[in-house]
Amino acid sequence: MTTSSTPNLAPDLLSIGLERYGTKLRSGELSIEQATRAYLDRISVLDPILSPYAYIAHEQAIAAARLLDQQLSSGVDLGPLMGVPIAIKDNIMVDGMPCLAGSHTDVARRLNGEASFVSLLKARGCVVLGKLNTVEFALGNTGVNARLGTPRNPWDATCFRLPSGSSSGSAVAVAAGLCAFAIGTDTGGSVRGPAAHCGVFGMKFSAGRWPMDGILPVSAALDALGILTGSAQDAATVWRGLTGEPVVVPREPGQIRLGVSKPYFFDNLDPIVDTAMQAALLRLAQHGVQIESVAVQNAHEVDGLYNILSKSDLLSALGQDWVKANADRINPDVLDRLSEAFHFTRSDYETSVERRRVLSRDVNAVLEQVDALLSPTKREVAPTYDSTEMSVDYMRTLSRHCAGPTRIANFFDLCGVTQPVYIPEGGLPVGMQLMGGARAERSLLEIALTIERIIGAPARPDLSAFFR
């Protein structure tokens, strides 16, 4: 990304990658405070244009950075995440920072205390720059939040394009270099979808991989945490920093078997996405990756069953009376989605739970044949957005434009990643999704590193275009 023609924009000091940044920190070439201030300076210039941040923790971040610099200079090394400036989706509690969950309601008062996952990040030495905008209650795939602000996809300066959701601010902040990596939540694609539309790497962890306390729930059965990073290599570094495991090493291409199930997963693709996916599959095969045709039976059932489970769970958590009492304060599109659950019966829910159990056997059988399932992450590139049009029909149309086969991972308790595979000159990102079995994160990262070596590291948007 070129910033020379962008006025008063500090460089993204971690665009070199987390590993190289760590080396410069420990050699004394950079300080944590210097990196933190550079991000805060970038945020001051770009957040008014792109709106990824719900809250900027300027004083807290500088104080944390100074303390970490002191620790590092005295010989205390907290590992590969020490001194890395990050940002947190605003449905996750962080001590000393507001939490709105994208809402004008009092819903976040249901949360008590900092999320354990945030405390872990701090213990590993991360600097929290602030909180990131989200779709209200994290319920929605477009990124639209009419009341608190919709982040703008940084890949198009000529018109407002959506980042997808619900981790909208998380994806925009990483793509625009406004944090080194971001934390999101993923109930049906809320990390992977925005990552795909914004041209960054996204990883949904397996459900239960990390505690979910201090996080506003959508569905206890489907919710998972996730990370958004500038590359697969950075994601592997974050994984090592979180888990303490050894360095993740790319696999040899010939040792990778990827399953492609065309029905449902490749249905109704925009020509740009279809072309990008076919080119990526061809390139992987040319480098020795084994691409195998598999059949995920009855995948078309998942979206309907998922809707019953996710929306019923959120309505149950919020309470029907509370939703009705706060209806005029909830974003209309979110209320429209949530209101569907008023019509679901107990029998609908129980049938969905049982069908999920049955179908899971089929998916697990497929994953015994291959290392991961491969598909597009989104069926279309990021759509344009007219903020003056807020009708329910328009919001439903946008949601269809932001759809993709991502709910499969949550419904079947898989882990998943998305990585950019094709960004044409002057064009928009296309993401490729990999899904592996529960607790297969390390395996997916090994594969993603290999794919990144074959296809290339993600490009960055030309932010100078916003100032011309």
Active site residues: 89, 166, 190
Structural tokens at position 445: 């990262």
Q: Mind spelling out the 3-state secondary structure of the chain? A: CCCCCCCCCCCCCCCCCHHHHHHHHHHCCCCHHHHHHHHHHHHHHHHHHHCCEEEECHHHHHHHHHHHHHHHHCCCCCCCCCCCEEEEECCECCCCCCCCCCCCCCHHHHCCCCCHHHHHHHHCCCEEEEEECCCHHHCCCCCCCCCCCCCCCCCCCCCCECCCCCCHHHHHHHHCCCCCEEEEECCCCCCHHHHHHHCCEEEECCCCCCCCCCECCCCCCCCCEEEEECCHHHHHHHHHHHHCCCCCCCCCHHHCEEEECCCCCCCCCCHHHHHHHHHHHHHHHHCCCEEEECCCCCHHHHHHHHHHHHHHHHHHHHCHHHHHHCHHHCCHHHHHHHHHHHHCCHHHHHHHHHHHHHHHHHHHHHHCCCCEEEEECCCCCCCECCCCCCCHHHHHHHHHHCCCCCHHHHHCCCEEEEEEEECCCCCCCEEEEEEECCCCHHHHHHHHHHHHHHHCCCCCCCHHHHHC
Tell me the backbone φ, ψ of residue 260, rounded to 5 degrees: -120, 120
Give the C-alpha separation, 237 to 214, whole Å. Answer: 25
CA-wise closest residue to 172 among 333, 11, 382, 456 = 382
For the chain, the distance separating the N- and C-terminal CA atoms, rounded to the nearest angstrom, is 15
